[in-house]
Amino acid sequence: MTADCVGVYQGAGVPDPDTKGQPYNFVVALYKLADKSINYYQARAYSNWYDGIKEGSLEYLQDVYLHWRNLKSLCPSCIPIPSFPGIAAEKFLIGVLGSTDARQAQSYVSPSTLRAFKDWLKSKGYQLYGFNVWNSYFDSQNGNQITQAIAS
């Protein structure tokens, strides 16, 4: 299993952690087994499919957040996963790219989109532990625009 395909997705079932199967929602099974021993969960908001929404967009960030927190996502046909409370806000990080050079350019979240996402979280009363930037080298080459957007 790779990080590119691990995620919480309300449009898929929860696999049995003892058998092979689709990787989506494997973290749900892991959560049920070991959440008390896990300090943080990081959702990659790049190079991961969510409802066909354009990567790097505000809606994409919102959908990633909603799926992992197990709140009603932007997917019209998806429903929250039964018996899963969602990842607690105080344990939840979202990973974003430091620049268009860090990975696939279409996955890059601009500083203005990142600020709009933070405003959306606040307007909804949603919490988030923080962000992880991949990686500091690319962010520094980008004038530290992403870390500045996170800190503002």
The predicted-structure confidence for 42-94, as pLDDT tens digits, reads as follows 999 998 878 889 999 999 999 999 999 999 999 999 999 999 999 999 999 99
Question: What is the layout of strands, in order, in the sheet containing 92-97?
Answer: 41-44, 92-97, 130-134
Q: Is the pLDDT of residue 117 over 90?
A: yes
Strand ranges (DSSP E) for 45-150?
92-97, 130-134
Model pLDDT for residues 128-146, shown as the tens digit of each residue: 999 999 999 999 999 999 9
Q: How many CB atoms lie within 10 A of CB 59?
A: 15
The pLDDT of residue 55 is 93
- CATH classification code of 3-151: 3.20.20.80
Structure tokens at 121: 């979280």
Q: Is the pLDDT of residue 1 over 50?
A: no
pLDDT, average across residues 18-36 = 87
- HSE value, Cβ hemisphere, 13 Å, CA-based, for 128: 24
Where along the chain do its domains lie? 3-151
Q: Is the pLDDT of residue 3 over 70?
A: no
